[in-house]
Chains A and B, each alone.
Chain A
Amino acid sequence: MSNANFNDYVCLPYLNIENTFLISNYKNAGGYSIFEELLKDKNVVDVREEILSSGLYTKGPFSKPISEKWDKFERKGEQEHLQKKVLIANGQESLSGSFKDRYLMENFPHQVIESILITSFLWGIDMAFLVIRPEYSFAHERMMKAYDEAMKNGYLGENIFDSGYYLNLTISLGNSGVSSGEETAIVNGLEGKRSFPSVRDLSLNGYLNRTTLVHNIETLLNISWISKMGAAAFRKLGTINNPGTKLISVSGDINYPGVFEVPLGTTFVDILEDFCGGSSDPEGVQAIFPAGVYGHELSELDIPLTRLSYESLSEKGIELGSGNLLFVGKGRDLEKVKEISLKILAESSCGYCTVCRDGLPRFAVNYKSLSEIELSNTLEGLALSGACSYSQYPKRLLKV
């Protein structure tokens, strides 16, 4: 009997249950039941259709409808030589200011494993990886313990509960650095190559030439929830165009930094007051960077008028990113914050592509001396370069 709260939470239904990092507590709270039901009763094609019709967006920094990713994966997977598929759960979370996946792995490791099992089962995948950022040593430790428990209890390995289904899950450490969290960089790293991004279609030429699906952990938890509760229940949360919830990692000038799950469409005022305990700056907040250093800021005037949703933010030309919200108090110089952000972007380039490696540091030093047209052209040029999306961030941040 489940005592988890699936009605209010998509990612954190086990939030108020103690020690669900232990398999006994997780199972007592109803854990692994979604997977067990799926294994016994449900038609995977129907469940996949249900998820596709839910309006779910992937939860990474370049969020898109899940159908875009799955259509490609399914189409390529139909080709005979690509029928062996791989799932990679992206726990790299290397974007500065984001720590929601770390929180999930540290506190709900069995839920992470169950979500990997569910997505793998839905696609008939027999090989999966969970790649964890190397700084997350505690999350890695927790995940390895949970893996051992899941193996002992028959949730992983061969012939799971006599269903004939088999999943080989490997928990692996990735590399540090923002670009190392990019999909192709993760696959390169797992293959024993430098974990740098490359121009590579993972649905055609993924891990060891298999067709490969990469989702971050939050997206996998959303898939699990929808496979249990259905698309209609998912659409009751959030807004009409952006259903569901979003995990946010909040930091900066607030009283309670941390990870919270909020329905999409929640106002930023509610997030600040109800979740973050208000501003730690006595004068209040002057701006919020919804995507941290990787996107434009929401000004003080816009804060009461804007909701946390892809739709509401994009009307103002602002990105939500992976929900790494940074609050900036009135006591700080906003221009200085942007200057530092550009420096962070320049310093964090992996250095694989010349324009990004050499262009970003020069740009970070000289951008103030450029005219508006020069600035716009330079940002456009930077955004078009490179094997990954990294060089687009300055354009998002400065938005000229």
Chain B
Amino acid sequence: MEQELSLSSSSLLKIQNTIEHHQFIESALTEIFFIAREEWKYFTIPKIEYLSNLLKLPSDELMVFLSGLSNSTFKNSARNEIYVCKNLACLFKGAEQILDFLNTEFNLNEEGSSPDNRFKVQVKYCLGQCDKAPCIQVNNKVEHVTDLREVAFLLEENP
């Protein structure tokens, strides 16, 4: 439990560097939450309070900010988050086939999670890479995929 409530020294260093770049800490919040999410995967009230102490900002203000931040979750849903882009350019190039493949391959439930908690698959309506369609986002990285084998290969790297 103790371990869960703290961030690793590398994450803390990244947060410190981010804060140094920003004149006011408020404009750095998105990046700080992204750094924390990368390590924690999801947020809890004690984690928000930990960040509140670290950043010297009220926890309720952090909660409000976080509630509007995309991809942030308070549920321990999966070890890896996969976003499949379903913008028209990606749909034209096979986004539905990628979703079908993921559903079949990982036996996803209604919420898009695999039974072993390895993946949670969600849809996004544009990843801003339409010139490289179709695209998927694996955790924080957007990837261009040419075929389903490539999707499988990418996911193999994320146990």
Contact = CB atoms under 8 A, between A and B. Distances in A.
Q: Which of B26, B29, B68, B70 has the most CB of A within 10 A?
A: B68
B86 to A, nearest CB: 8
A340 B65 CA distance: 31
Interface string A304-343: 0000000000000000000010100000100001001100
Interface residues of B, number: 42
Given A171-B21, A192-B57, A257-B133, A251 B68 contact: no
Contacts of B109: none
Given A97-B126, A257-B131, A134 B87 contact: no
B128 A102 contact: yes
Contacts of B92: 252-253, 332
Contact of A196 (B68, B86, B127, B142): B68
B34 A134 contact: yes
Contacts of A98: 128
A127 interface: yes
A70 interface: no
Contacts of B30: 134, 172-175, 189, 195
Interface in B30-74: 30-31, 34, 57, 61, 64-65, 67-71
Contacts of B11: none
B129 interface: yes
A190 B25 CA distance: 9
B87 A97 contact: yes
B28 interface: yes
B142 A137 contact: yes
B22 A170 contact: yes
Contacts of A135: 127-129, 137, 142
Q: Which of B87, B129, B141 has the most CB of A within 10 A?
A: B87
Nearest to B67: A194
Contact of B125 (A137, A168, A196, A344): A344
Contacts of B131: 99, 249-251, 257-259
A127 B23 contact: yes
B80 to A, nearest CB: 16
B91 interface: yes
Nearest to A332: B92
Nearest to B124: A176
Nearest to B27: A190
A348 interface: yes
B130 A251 contact: yes
Contact of B128 (A93, A127, A144): A93
